[in-house]
A and B are shown apart, each in its own frame.
Chain A
Amino acid sequence: MKKIAISISDLSKIYGKNAALSHGNFEVPVGTVCGFVGPNGSGKTTTIRMLLGLITPTEGSATVLGESIEHPEKYLPRVGAMIEGPAFYPGLSGRENLKVLAELGGFPLSRVDELLAKVDLADRGGSKFKTYSLGMKQRLGIAAALLPNPELLILDEPTNGLDPSGIQEVREIIRDLAAKGTTVFVSSHILSELEMISEYLVMLREGKVIFSGKTQELLASQKPIILAKPEYEVDLTKLASQVEAAGFSSVVIDSTLHITAPKEASAAINRAAFEAGITLSSISAIQQTLEETFFEMTGENT
């Protein structure tokens, strides 16, 4: 039986008439990286705050590392968290800010310099937080979350404000921690990043959990698509009719026909095009990305 790091059961948070989270249910197995996605206002941060004991649920229950969220003192010493961006004292240096949290949590102060080095802030640890760039602030937030050497790491948008190399560093940190058995629960708007690192996924829309499970299962459940591009653009309408006659639906996007069909249908489509006198300059089968799946499932659009 799988050990569960996070489990929520019928968890709800109602503000007036609005449900920030409504009867949410999901589980995150121990030792996995779980992506937490949803449009803005879908209830991600509210859920994270309830898991950390900052917000009291209206109804339902949840456990973190086997302990009820009604007793956060039992599990928070084993949890690292960065919620809604880094929040620190602007007049204190990065090092002093981490020391405040280390002292509060009872962690050795020697961890502070180790972590500053880990997030590449060793040379700026003595500078005041208010002088940091957004990326540096974000890295300090990650260092603070790592202070307890956590069994569970909860990160809310950890790559906000980071440049590509910073994003890659965060990805490596998450992978390292996961390899050592740390469970990572991470929300991000960069879905391509989550697709790369998340074994599990929880998806929210308007306060409701619309998917929770393995990322690959979600992607595999999506309809495959074949992209067919005729040599001449004028043939697009004719090609669409041929494809429809063969029993497949299609849509034209950027001079290419997007046909909802399994990759095995490629040969039949190619043949139908040839018989109609259309030469295809390219034909390929693709699987939807997490981003495309997200937009389809949440009704969001770029």
Chain B
Amino acid sequence: MIRVVIAEVRKLRRPSLLLGTIATVGGLSALFTSIVFLMINSKDGNSKRGEHVGVEELSQASGLIYGFRLVGIFLGIVALCIFASQTAQEYSLGTLRNLLVRQPSRMKILAGKFIAMNLFALVMVIFAGTMSIALSFALAGRAKVDTSSWTTGAARKLLFESTLNIFIATLCFGAVGMILGLLFRSPISAIAVGVLWTLILENILAALITSIAKWLPGLNFSNLGEGGNMILSYKHSLATSLAYLIISGGIAAILFKRRDVAN
């Protein structure tokens, strides 16, 4: 399987994809972190859904990772798009037949591909985190935020936990992208369905029928990235996310294993 991972990494590190992704996540990270610090006095808010985070809150240890947490869900969407396109393009380009001739074990192909994309996602999350932390320090003075708590052991612990949670959430979104890629076998369809569902349909459903909100996959993945909240616990989101991934992943894996490669 290690050979599959190495081969996949070779595909993922191509400049157009790697630099394009780095630029995208770097841009998102910079945007969200800047909004938190540069709009600290804005009455329109400086956080998600118009919420306001003040100097006092940002001066605590958790202030270090505030911008990073905000960008978490968007890292998930980026991962969903990349995992979906990298999987579906094997069908649309016809390259899957080459892969299967050189590695006939379809499960090894699938697992190797997933591991390689996870490594790619890890690089993406670490880059976004580094960018956000650096920018937070750079903008703190201008926003009159005291950074002395940011260098404590508690802040480092929070940073580690947040990075891990955002990585897990990113993997969940990515896994959904991969499953959609396997099901639709077309990058455009897989990405369109994934993004439309996550960013639009889930939010409409959650607003219309509040009782089902805690069972929607995208909201649970996002909640994992935030480390849980008052409404939805981290444990609930972890269990729900795992259930979704095991069931849908299992169906997609069976389809991938049994389906004829006729294109």
Inside 8 A of A100's CB, which chain B residues have their CB? 7, 10-11
Q: Which of B101, B102, B261 has the most CB of A within 10 A?
A: B101
In Å, the complex CA distance between A152 and B93 comes to: 25
A87 touches B102 (CB 8 A): no
Q: Provide 14 A-B residue pairs closer than 8 Å at the C-beta atoms, listed in order of the A residue.
A: A49-B262, A54-B101, A76-B102, A76-B104, A79-B101, A83-B97, A83-B101, A89-B95, A91-B16, A92-B10, A96-B10, A103-B6, A103-B10, A104-B7
Contact for A87 among B4, B94, B103, B105, CB less than 8 A: B94
Known A52-B101, A79-B101: A104·B4 in contact at CB below 8 Å: yes
8 additional contacts (CB under 8 A) given A88-B95, A92-B14, A101-B98: A52-B101, A54-B97, A56-B258, A91-B17, A101-B7, A101-B99, A103-B10, A104-B102
In Å, the complex CA distance between A87 and B103 comes to: 16
Interface size on B, residues (CB 8 A): 26
A101 touches B102 (CB 8 A): yes
Known A73-B105, A103-B10: A87·B100 in contact at CB below 8 Å: no
Inside 8 A of B10's CB, which chain A residues have their CB? 92, 96, 99-100, 103
In Å, the complex CA distance between A88 and B248 comes to: 29
Inside 8 A of B97's CB, which chain A residues have their CB? 49, 52, 54, 83-84, 87
CB contact list, A121-145 vs B, under 8 A:
144
In the complex, whether B260 has a CB less than 8 A from a CB of chain A is yes
What is the minimal beta-carbon distance from B29 to any residue of chain A, in angstroms?
25
Inside 8 A of A147's CB, which chain B residues have their CB? 102
Chain B interface helix/strand/loop/mixed: helix
In the complex, whether B157 has a CB less than 8 A from a CB of chain A is no
Inside 8 A of A54's CB, which chain B residues have their CB? 97, 100-101, 260-262
Known A76-B102, A87-B93, A100-B11: A55·B260 in contact at CB below 8 Å: yes
Categorize the interface residue count of chain A. 20 to 34
What is the minimal beta-carbon distance from A182 to any residue of chain B, in angstroms?
16
In the complex, whether A90 has a CB less than 8 A from a CB of chain B is yes
Contact for B3 among A89, A91, A96, A103, CB less than 8 A: A103
The 8 A CB mask of A35-58 against B (1 = contact, 0 = none) is 000000000001001001111100
B94 touches A49 (CB 8 A): no
Contact for B104 among A55, A73, A96, A99, CB less than 8 A: A73
In Å, the complex CA distance between A144 and B103 comes to: 14
What is the minimal beta-carbon distance from B222 to any residue of chain A, in angstroms?
31
A76 touches B14 (CB 8 A): no
B261 touches A144 (CB 8 A): no
CB contact list, A83-112 vs B, under 8 A:
83-85, 87-92, 96, 99-101, 103-106
Inside 8 A of A88's CB, which chain B residues have their CB? 93, 95, 98
When C-beta atoms are compared, the residue in chain B nearest to A81 turns out to be B101
In Å, the complex CA distance between A83 and B14 comes to: 25
What is the minimal beta-carbon distance from A87 to any residue of chain B, in angstroms?
3
In the complex, whether A72 has a CB less than 8 A from a CB of chain B is yes
In Å, the complex CA distance between A189 and B36 comes to: 65
CB contact list, B143-172 vs A, under 8 A:
none
Q: Which of A81, A89, A106 has the most CB of B within 10 A?
A: A89
B93 touches A91 (CB 8 A): no
When C-beta atoms are compared, the residue in chain B nearest to A88 turns out to be B95
What is the minimal beta-carbon distance from A12 to any residue of chain B, in angstroms?
14
When C-beta atoms are compared, the residue in chain A nearest to B92 turns out to be A87
